[in-house]
Amino acid sequence: MISTRPNIGVRLAGTGSHLPENRLTNADLTKLMETNDEWIVQRTGIRERRKIDRAKGESTATLAAGALKNALAAARLNATDLDLIICATMTPEMECPATACVVSALVGAGHCGAFDLNAACSGFIFGMNTAHDLIKGGAYRTIAVIGADTLTELMDYSNNGRGTAIIFGDGAGAAIFRATDDTTKGILAQGMHADGEGWKEIYVPHEERDFPKGIACDTSKYGYVQMNGASVFKFAVGTFPELIQQTLDKANLTPDKIDMYVCHQSNARILGAARERFGIPEDRLYVNIDRYGNTVGASVPLCLDELVRAGRIKDGMKVMFLGFGGGLTWGSSLWQM
């Protein structure tokens, strides 16, 4: 990798997460639509997900702020130590201001920079790569990257939406990255990709012009995620192994040299297929989709936080982060911790 300041390394200083308490189990879903636990578990691996409670004031920003507070505590930092907050989300608090600005106010981060990044399920990966290279460039020393999403707000919990509504859940995770004199730490290889032609595979229509050519406008779909599940599944199963191989090749490493794979939790079957293809042992590719479903931008940092807290990601390890989803987007970030 070319770096403008080769004498600066980047380290992970702390992680945190925050989940709504309210659980939406597969049994709960059977009361809302024609579905069953067996179908959901077999097709996705999901048993329950979390759902925000608007009446309690929960939102993307409150989840994000909760995750950031926990990450700051783990890093033993104050909010005013942050130079920048990047919030990866496709379900922002509102159109303006950026959710990152609301979060900054909630945690008391003063005048640090704050902006949102929307790359759907790849958002946190794109955020990590951005934060790393901004620190490496020398202009920022401490950056918080948050992945926060509340997709349950965009679900049609009727039979019409059952193919999509069963997979998504709410949550937030955060990580703080800092400059270090240890130049061995930081990204060894990364990639950020998109195929804009694939936007029509996952979108949220709000008016007639939002529907792709050939799809009739249907006002009952306004405000709900429209996902071509089978097509996204095919894209993910093909792209995921390709992305792992490309990232390994860039770093000149073999799959067994990676201590942990931290992947977007989209579907347990997609993760299982990639694991088998590369002969990755089960304990090196983390799966928590059974407990949280697909939390979009939050899924990678939620896994990261659980792994760090369990002592399964430590200094000195090589960790590969992978994401793919709406856009269509896909990306990777391979770290020397």
Task: Mark residues 161-190: x for contact with ligand UT7 by CB under 6 A, - for none.
Answer: -xx--xx-----------------------
3-state SS string over 298-324?
HHHHHHHHHHHHCCCCCCCCEEEEEEE
CA–CA separation, 146 and 333 (whole Å):
15
CA–CA separation, 205 and 198 (whole Å):
15
Q: How many helices (H) and strands (E) does the chain have?
A: 10, 13
The catalytic position among 18, 132, 193, 264 is 264
Amino acid at 335: W
Angstrom CA distances, 215 to 229, 306, 328, stand at 16, 41, 18
CA–CA separation, 12 and 182 (whole Å):
12
Q: Least distance to ligand UT7 from the beta carbon of 117, Å?
A: 16
Task: Respond yes or no: is residue 217 known to be catalytic.
Answer: no
Q: Could you say whether residue 336 binds ligand UT7 (CB under 6 A)?
A: no
CA–CA separation, 224 and 203 (whole Å):
8
Task: Respond yes or no: is residue 294 known to be catalytic.
Answer: yes
CA–CA separation, 319 and 300 (whole Å):
12
Q: Least distance to ligand UT7 from the beta carbon of 229, Å?
A: 3
Residue count, binding to ligand UT7 (CB under 6 A): 18
> Which of residues 232, 258, 271, 298 is near ligand UT7 by CB under 6 A?
232
Residues 131, 71: contact at Cβ < 8 Å?
A: no
Residue with structure tokens 């009952």?
Answer: 220
Residue with structure tokens 């995750």?
Answer: 67
Q: Least distance to ligand UT7 from the beta carbon of 298, Å?
A: 11
> Which of residues 121, 263, 274, 320 is near ligand UT7 by CB under 6 A?
121
When the beta carbons of 38 and 207 are compared against ligand UT7, the nearer one is 38
Task: Respond yes or no: is residue 121 known to be catalytic.
Answer: yes
Q: Could you say whether residue 203 binds ligand UT7 (CB under 6 A)?
A: no
The catalytic position among 121, 263, 267, 303 is 121
When the beta carbons of 41 and 106 are compared against ligand UT7, the nearer one is 41
When the beta carbons of 22 and 35 are compared against ligand UT7, the nearer one is 35
Catalytic annotation, residues: 121, 264, 294
Judged by the rule CB under 6 A, the positions of this chain that interact with ligand UT7 are 35, 39, 43-44, 121, 162-163, 166-167, 229-230, 232-233, 236, 266-267, 294, 325
